[in-house]
Amino acid sequence: MTAVFTGVCVAAGLLFLAAGTAGLLRFPDAATRLHALTKADGLGLGLIVLGLLPQMPGVAAALKLLAIWGLVLLAGATIGPLLARHATEREP
Amino acid sequence: MAEALTAAAVLALLTVLAGLVRVVRGPTRADRIMAAQLLGTGGIAVLLLLAAAGGDMALLDLALVLAVLAAFAAAAFVQAARR
Amino acid sequence: MILDALLALAILALAAWTVWTRDAFAAGIGFVATGLLLALAWVRLGSVDVALTEAAIGAGIGGVLLVNAATHLGTTAEEAPPSPRQNRLIALLCAGFAVAVGTALLTLPDPAPNLVHEAAAALPATGLGNPVTAVLMVWRGLDTLLEAIVVLLAVLGLWALAPEGATRPAPPPREEGPLPLLARVLPPIGVVIALHIVWAGADGPGGKFQGGAILAAMWVLAWMAGLVRAPEVMDRRLAWALVAGPLVFLGVGVAGLVLAGEFLALPAGWAKPVILLIEAPLTLSIAAGLALLLLGPPERAP
C-alpha cells in the first residue's frame, strides 16, 4: 500500500518537475518562465517529499524532508517577486 | 522499491540537465538565475530519491544545506544582477 | 550507471562552456551549476563529506563571490585581452598540467596506495565516528590549522585592496518587500542547520567549514536586506572573532608539545573534548572570514 502511494506521488512529482523544466525552456519571456519555475519548486518537489515520507526510517528523517521542502518553498516565494521586479525594471 | 527510486532519480536528473540549456542560452540574467534555482531544486529531488533508495540518511543533511544556501545564493544573484 | 555517465558528460560540457563564455555573469552561474553537479558526482562516489564542502564552499560561497566579482568588473574587462601568444601559452600550460595529472592517475597501481586500513584501525582511539574528521583534526591537524589561517590571509588580502581611509564595506542597495522577509525568516533556521552540520561532523558527514559557510551566508543575507550594518574594519570584536579559531588551535598545538610531546598532539583519552574546544571558535572564525570576503573590500565613507 505504501509502495503504491510512494510510486504515485513520486511519479506525479517527476511530471511536475519535467513540466516546470519544459516551461522554462519553451515559454517566450522571463516573466512567463517564472510561472513554470514555481510549479517545479512547489508541486514537483512537494509531491516527491510527500511520496518519500513513508519510506523514511524515523520521525526525524521525515521532519527533515518537510523542512527541506519548506526551505525550497521559502526560496521560491522570495526569488519569484525579486526576479519579476528585476525583469520589469529592465523591460517596462 | 530501491530500483524504482533510483530510476526516478535518473529521471529527475534528466529533467534537471535539460534545464541547463537555459543556463547556457539565457538570454537575460533573470533566466540564468531561474535555471540555477531549478537546478538546485532538481538536485535536491535527486538527493532525496537517492537517500530513500540507498538508505543513506546523510544525504538529507546535504539536501538541507543545499536548500538553505540555494535561497541565499539566488537572493545574492538577484542583487548582483541589479547593480 | 546511466546516472553516472550522464553526470560526467554534463559536468564536462558545462565546465567547458563556463570557460568558453564571454559573459562573466553567465560564467559565474555556470560555475555554480557545475558545482551542484560535482556535489552529486561526489555523492555517487560515496564521499558525502566532499559533496557537502563542494555544495557549501564551492557552489554556494564561491559562486556568490564570483558573481559579485563579475558585476563589479562589468562584463567587458577594461584591460586589453591577452594576446594570441599569451593565450597559446596558457592553453599549453593548462593542457600540460591536465596530461600530467591524468597520467599520474592512470599509472597508479590498483588498488591505489592508501591508509584506509590503518585509519579504520586507529579510529576508535580518537573517540570520533567519522574518519574524515579524524584525518582533519587528529592525524593531519596541521593542514586544517593552515587552512583556517588561509581564510584569515584572504581577508587581509581583500582589505589590502581598500583605498586609503576606507573603514567599512559599501552598504548594499536599499531593499523592500520579499528580501527583508527572507532575511528575517531564514537565518534562525539556517543557524540551527549550521550548528547541526558542525555537530554531526564528529560521527558523519559535516564539519566546521560547511557549517561556517552557512553561518556566513545567513549573516550576509541579513546585511543584504539592510537589517544589519557591516562592521568597521578596526572593530575589536571583529578582530577577536577572526583570530579566535586559529589562536585556540595554535594554543592546543603548543599545549600538545608540552603534554604529549609533539606539536598538535592530543593527549590520549581527551581527543574528543579537545576537538570540540578547537571546533567551536574555529567555526566562528571561518564564518566571520567568509562573511567578510562576501561583503567585499572596505570603501571610503561617502
SS (H, E, C) B27-39: CCHHHHHHHHHHH
CB distance C209 to C250 below 8 Å: no
Name beta bridge partners: C298.
Answer: C169
CATH number at B9 reads 1.10.287
What is the ipTM, given to two decimal places?
0.92
CB distance A82 to A37 below 8 Å: no
Q: How many CB atoms lie within 10 A of CB C122?
A: 14
Numbered residues of chain B with Cβ closer than 8 Å to any chain C Cβ: 6, 9-10, 13-14, 17, 20, 23-24, 26, 29, 32-33, 35-36, 39-40, 43, 46-47, 50, 56, 58-59, 61-62, 64-66, 68-69, 71-73, 75-77, 79-83
Contacting residues of C for A74, CB less than 8 Å apart: 182, 185-186
Dist. CA C134–CA C148, nearest whole Å: 17
Q: In terms of residue numbers, what domain contains A49?
A: 2-90
Extract the C-alpha cell encoding C129: 565516528
pLDDT of residue C75: 46
Q: Is the pLDDT of residue A92 over 50?
A: no
pLDDT of residue C78: 59
Dist. CA C167–CA C290, nearest whole Å: 18
List the beta strands (DSSP E) in chain B.
none
Per DSSP, helices labelled H in chain C are: 2-20, 24-44, 48-53, 63-73, 84-106, 116-126, 131-134, 141-159, 178-200, 208-224, 236-259, 271-295
Q: Which of C177, C179, C182 sits opposite A74 (nearest CB)?
A: C182
pLDDT tens per residue across span B26-38: 788 888 888 888 8
Question: Strand, coil or helix: what is C298?
Answer: strand
pLDDT of residue A66: 92
Question: Strand, coil or helix: what is C264?
Answer: coil
Looking at the structure of chain A, the number of domains it has is 1
pLDDT of residue C140: 76
pLDDT of residue B79: 80
pLDDT band at B63; cut points 50, 70, 90: very high
Extract the C-alpha cell encoding C72: 563589479
pLDDT tens per residue across span C183-216: 888 999 999 999 988 888 777 777 788 889 999 9
Looking at the structure of chain B, the number of domains it has is 1
In a mutagenesis test of the C interface, which of B5, B48, B65, B83 is the best target, namely the one with the most C β-carbons within 10 Å?
B65
Rounded alpha-carbon distances, angstroms, from residue C251 to B49, C268, C278: 45, 17, 9
Contacting residues of B for A56, CB less than 8 Å apart: 52
Question: Strand, coil or helix: what is C168?
Answer: strand
Q: In terms of residue numbers, what domain contains B20?
A: 2-82
Q: Which residues of chain C have pLDDT under 50?
A: 75
Q: How many CA atoms lie within 13 A of C98 on its CB side?
A: 6
Name beta bridge partners: C168.
Answer: C299
Q: Which of C40, C60, C182 sits opposite B43 (nearest CB)?
A: C40
Dist. CA A57–CA A46, nearest whole Å: 19
A8-17, A27-36, B51-60, C142-151: least confident range: A27-36
Measured between its terminal Cα atoms, the distance across chain A in Å is 52
Phi, psi of C168 (to 5 degrees): -155, 140
Name beta bridge partners: C169.
Answer: C298
Residue with cell 581527551: C270
What letters, b where the CB count within 10 A reaches 16 and e where it falls short, cover C171-199?
A: ebeebeebbbebbebbbebbbebbebbbe
Phi, psi of C114 (to 5 degrees): -155, 170
How many angstroms separate the CA of residue B41 from the nearest CA in chain C? 11
pLDDT band at B22; cut points 50, 70, 90: confident
Phi, psi of A83 (to 5 degrees): -70, -35
Q: Is the pLDDT of residue A41 over 80?
A: no
Kindly determine whether residue B68 and residue C179, on different chains, have CB atoms separated by under 8 Å.
no
Helical axes C178-200 vs A59-90, angle rounded to 10°: 140
Dist. CA C61–CA C223, nearest whole Å: 15
Q: Where are the domains of chain C?
A: 120-302
pLDDT of residue A2: 82
Dist. CA C254–CA C263, nearest whole Å: 6
pTM to 2 decimal places:
0.86
pLDDT of residue A77: 83
Dist. CA B32–CA C217, nearest whole Å: 21
pLDDT of residue C37: 92
